[in-house]
Amino acid sequence: MKKWLVFILVAAVGLGVFFSFRDSGEVGDSTDVPVYESQRGDLVIDVLEGGNIQALNYLEFRNEVKSSAGVKILEIIEEGYMVTEEDVENEKVIVRLDQSGLEEQIVDHDVDFQQTEALYAEAKQNIEIEESEALSDIKAERQILRFALLDFEKFVGESAAQEILKKLKLPYDTDSLDAYEAKATELIVTAFDTKNLAESTSEDVEEKPFTGQAGDSLAAGVNFEAFLADEKLGDGEAEQTIRRMRDESLVAASQLAVASESVQGAKRLRDRDFITKQTLENELVNLDKAKLTLQTKETELDLFQDYEFPKEAEKMLSNFEEALLELIRTKREKMAKMAQVYARYRSYKRRYELELKKRKNLEEQLASCVIRAELPGLVAYGGANDNYYTSRYYDGISEGATLKTGQPIITIPDMSQLGVEVNIHESHIKKIELGQTVYITAESVPDKTLTGRIAKVAVLPDSNASRYNPSLKVYPATVEIEGTHEFLKPGMTAKVEIIVKELENVVYVPVQSIFIENDQHVVFLKKGSSFEKVNVEVGANNNEFIEIVEGLEELQPVMLKMPDGYEPPTSSEMAGSASQKRARKAEKTAIRPAKQPKTDKSA
């Protein structure tokens, strides 16, 4: 066991000597490796990009004629022409397109438009006609309902009629009729609501076959005879009829009594031969007539009370009840019909609006065939933002060329406000913020440097740029150039330097002197013909230099490439080195003298 322990200790010491020997630069010769002395001073962190100078504000004219075959250019002003204020005032024509196809479309559309306009006007007038007829029909039914109530009250009496109607929960006077109609109308309107209809149709409705079986009316359940027995009839037509019949029965009874007394007297006179037999027989005939008259009057009264009165009362109450239902049915029918009328009107109105919109669109397209000067400036063919990915789908702008819908024709830029359109690589996009200072140099005028600022940065990368190179992600940004400069022209190539940060009094080295080893930034310091590897902490960087936060001082020679013959340690070697460090730390802890416990002097 001791031999194995000695072997492990010797191996560990050997590895430590090997790593120390290698890190100290004894591997290879570093005489010819280029070096750079670390510097201390101010460091500007910037991003360099290229772009094109463009006008930030411009007037762009596009082909607004919607035709699958396209439209030809009949006339166009030459590119580079300077539109003047006089041209704008005189409305100088700068582009003229072929409008013959549009003129034919407008002529064909006029026929359809006139028919649609006539149908729309007819549907609009039909609303007033149908509405007037519907209101008249409803008014007539409401009048029939009121007359039916009056007839029922007239026959049985007002008090009896109200008592019966209240028990049946039917309207019994003008106010209750108005309330009943208002509530029924509200229910009808709700039933015809479009939203409610849509919701109801989405639900499953149980369909039952119509059998035609109808229940009795409410009037059939009323005991009208009870009103006669309790003498609850008011001064109605029925009560007056009963009184008249009773009076007639009383008169007939009186006439019968008179006839009876007359017959008795006649018999006594006949017994004494004071009158003839014929006279007595006449009196007997009158008595029989009086009996028949009384019997007839009593029968008429009984028939009226037992049959005619309940029949007429039920009939009039049923008429009132039916008038109520008929009023509601009429309202429903008229509302359904008006719904159809309004639906037809909306349909024609929508069609009219579409045709009118189409007509206006054709007229606007026709007007766009002649483009006049609206803004002074330099005429440029195509769009302000044309690039390879968009312009290659369009034919060149010239007389006789065919334009596609939406194709840019000419652009007149506003030369008072220019900028640079640049694409920021995704590796730098986090550094870019709105308002950052930018220095611009046009390649055609390299001796002049202009100042600007970041005005806009896209949130998403440019999809056109990555169409043929999916791994390329660039974000379009706009740089505003301060002031006006006559030597600048749209389309010029320019370089921009975006100032991200300005560091003061920092140590920095070239970016190529920094290497990454096991997720750690390192530099190699030159030591004569050897080198020393040093771990460093880096900060911000630009395209040339990088800030050293910790690990280097100024004027230290750092190698600009990895020393010849140097090989980074493997993962097993790194693990062995870590184990060696832990063993040394444990050894130091083991040989450290233990603290003696304090003794209690008082003891």
3-class DSSP state of 434: coil
Give 575's pLDDT tier (boundaries 50, 70, 90): low
Structural contact between residues 374 and 93, judged by C-beta atoms closer than 8 angstroms: no
Token pair listed for 499: 């100032």
Give 569's pLDDT tier (boundaries 50, 70, 90): confident
pTM: 0.52
* 307-360 per-position pLDDT tens digit: 888 888 888 889 988 999 998 999 889 888 988 999 999 999 999 999 999 999
Domain termination site, one of 327, 356, 385? 356
pLDDT for 581: 53
**Mean pLDDT, residues 28-54 taken together:** 83
Q: How far apart are CA 368 and CA 63, in angstroms?
A: 8
pLDDT for 94: 92
Structural contact between residues 266 and 279, judged by C-beta atoms closer than 8 angstroms: yes
Give 10's pLDDT tier (boundaries 50, 70, 90): very low
Angle at 344 between CA 338 and CA 347, to 5 degrees: 140
Report the CATH number that the domain containing residue 584 is assigned in CATH. Answer: 2.40.420.20
Token pair listed for 59: 């007037």
542 and 569 together in one domain: yes
162: which residues sit within 8 A by CB, 6+ positions away?
Answer: 153, 172, 173
Is residue 149 one of the residues assigned to a domain?
yes
351 and 373 together in one domain: no
64: which residues sit within 8 A by CB, 6+ positions away?
Answer: 364, 365, 368, 405, 406
Q: How far apart are CA 31 and CA 28, in angstroms?
A: 9
CB-facing half-sphere around the CA of 241: CA atoms within 13 A: 18
- Looking at the chain, the number of H-run helices and the number of E-run strands are 12, 22
Q: How far apart are CA 224 and CA 305, in angstroms?
A: 10
448: which residues sit within 8 A by CB, 6+ positions away?
Answer: 441, 442, 485, 487
Angle at 542 between CA 537 and CA 546, to 5 degrees: 25
Which burial class, exposed, middle or buried, applies to 60 when counting CB atoms under 10 A from its CB (0-12, 13-18, 19+)? Answer: middle
125 and 88 together in one domain: no
188 and 150 together in one domain: yes
* 97-145 per-position pLDDT tens digit: 999 999 888 998 988 889 999 999 999 999 999 989 989 998 999 999 9
Is residue 281 one of the residues assigned to a domain?
yes
129 and 255 together in one domain: yes
547 pLDDT more than 90 = yes
387 and 510 together in one domain: no
Structural contact between residues 272 and 231, judged by C-beta atoms closer than 8 angstroms: no
What backbone phi and psi angles, to 5 degrees, belong to 254? -65, -45
Percent of the chain topping pLDDT 90: 32
299 and 385 together in one domain: no
Which of 561, 517, 388 has its CA nearest to residue 462?
A: 388
110/211: higher pLDDT? 110
Backbone Cα Rg of the chain: 57
Q: How far apart are CA 298 and CA 292, in angstroms?
A: 10
Q: How far apart are the two ends of the chain, measured CA to CA in Å?
A: 48
Lowest mean pLDDT among 65-69, 212-216, 382-386, 396-400: 212-216
397 and 296 together in one domain: no
177 and 302 together in one domain: yes
586 pLDDT more than 60 = no
Token pair listed for 102: 């549009």
Residue 335 belongs to domain spanning: 113-195+227-356
Token pair listed for 150: 């009056």
Q: How far apart are CA 224 and CA 242, in angstroms?
A: 14
Is residue 512 one of the residues assigned to a domain?
yes
Domain termination site, one of 329, 356, 383? 356
229 pLDDT more than 80 = no
**Mean pLDDT, residues 396-410 taken together:** 89
Q: How far apart are CA 497 and CA 439, in angstroms?
A: 5
pLDDT for 601: 37
Is residue 233 one of the residues assigned to a domain?
yes
Structural contact between residues 472 and 466, judged by C-beta atoms closer than 8 angstroms: yes
Is residue 421 one of the residues assigned to a domain?
no
Structural contact between residues 518 and 572, judged by C-beta atoms closer than 8 angstroms: no
Could you give the number of structural domains in the chain?
3
315 and 393 together in one domain: no
Which of 378, 406, 363, 452 has its CA nearest to residue 82?
A: 378
Give 522's pLDDT tier (boundaries 50, 70, 90): very high
Q: How far apart are CA 234 and CA 215, in angstroms?
A: 30
* 257-307 per-position pLDDT tens digit: 998 999 898 888 888 888 888 988 898 999 899 999 999 999 998 898 888
What backbone phi and psi angles, to 5 degrees, belong to 145? -65, -45
Q: How far apart are CA 376 and CA 473, in angstroms?
A: 38
Token pair listed for 447: 């001796």
Is residue 433 one of the residues assigned to a domain?
no
Give 587's pLDDT tier (boundaries 50, 70, 90): low
Give 14's pLDDT tier (boundaries 50, 70, 90): very low
Is residue 600 one of the residues assigned to a domain?
no
75 and 133 together in one domain: no
Is residue 521 one of the residues assigned to a domain?
yes
24 pLDDT more than 60 = no
146 and 247 together in one domain: yes
Query: Which conformational region is residue 98 in: left (phi greater than 0), alpha (psi within -120 to 50 degrees), or beta?
Result: beta
